[in-house]
Amino acid sequence: MKLPVFDNHVHLRREGRFIEAVKEFERKGGTGILLVNLPIPSDATRPDYFDSMYAEAERLRDSLKASTHISVVLAIGPYPLTLLDLAERTGLARAEELMLKGVETAAEHISCGKADVLGEVGRPHFDVPGEVMEASNRILDACMREARNAGCAVVLHTEDPTPGMMGALALMADRAGIRRGMVVKHHCTDLVLDEENHGIFPSVTASRENVFSAASKGTRFMLETDYIDDPARPGAFMGIGTVPRRVRELSESGRCDESALWKIGFENPATLYGRDRIVQWW
């Protein structure tokens, strides 16, 4: 029986490999992806910037659905580092306003069925001035609240995870009124145990070390590459075939049986994003 293979963080662009990359993923055993929007080469201060960015991501998703047989779940939202670019041009207060408008616009697209998930959103993954981090956390709080209202998951871009940081995110989720399990930590390590992730859902970067360690602890995680489809950086951050390869390695090594791999590759994304969006083609 064909196993489900879901890559929980993929970026694609028209000037990259785009459909060719996803067809490679499919040939290697992939069955579904979370497609995450990229910033577009336009002036982010324009009133229609975020709407245009999300519409382009929706067109990419539609092209993939017409050209492949994989499930494509779409995540849209203002990329956290856009705040820094905007702050240089408009000042931090106006930049925060623009980012919050981007969050609201994403939630509107999701609520009317144009997209599925809010993300990747959050805060810079490196040290920034205190006032920038404070603004980023206010935006992150708004993201959680909008995801709660839209009834969708939210995918977070933050600094590298630790149990303490995951606990802090869990408390933020509680304050925002969103279930902890609907908050997905992108670029996560093997923090699979409840005492490590505090209910936040780990999306584990698919290095062999991370994947094998995560699988030794349980099945409450997903796998991701953070493939960026950049012609100048082929295979970054990980190649599009990485998750199918890791799933095969988990199976062939005996680290995961079929039921565990179904949990990781189908049940987990279906629970987070909706069963109707994770089509079973096999």
Mean pLDDT, to the nearest integer, of 167-171?
Answer: 99
Mean pLDDT, to the nearest integer, of 48-71?
Answer: 98
Model confidence, pTM: 0.98
Q: Is the pLDDT of residue 1 over 80?
A: no
Q: Is the pLDDT of residue 4 over 60?
A: yes
32-36 and 6-10: which strand pairing? parallel
- Burial of residue 91 (CB within 10 Å: 0-12, 13-18, 19+) is exposed
* Top-tier CATH class for 7-242+260-277: alpha beta
- In the structure, what pLDDT confidence band is assigned to residue 280 with cuts at 50, 70 and 90? low
Mean pLDDT, to the nearest integer, of 31-59?
Answer: 97
- Long-range CB contact pairs, 230-239, < 8 A, 24+: 230/13, 230/16, 231/15, 231/16, 231/17, 237/205, 238/205, 238/206, 238/207
The SS3 call for residue 185 is strand
Mean pLDDT, rounded, of the chain = 97
pLDDT in tens, 104-153: 999 999 999 999 999 999 999 999 999 999 999 999 999 999 999 999 99
Instruction: Quote the CA–CA distance of 134 and 155 in Å, as a whole number.
Output: 19
pLDDT at residue number 2: 86
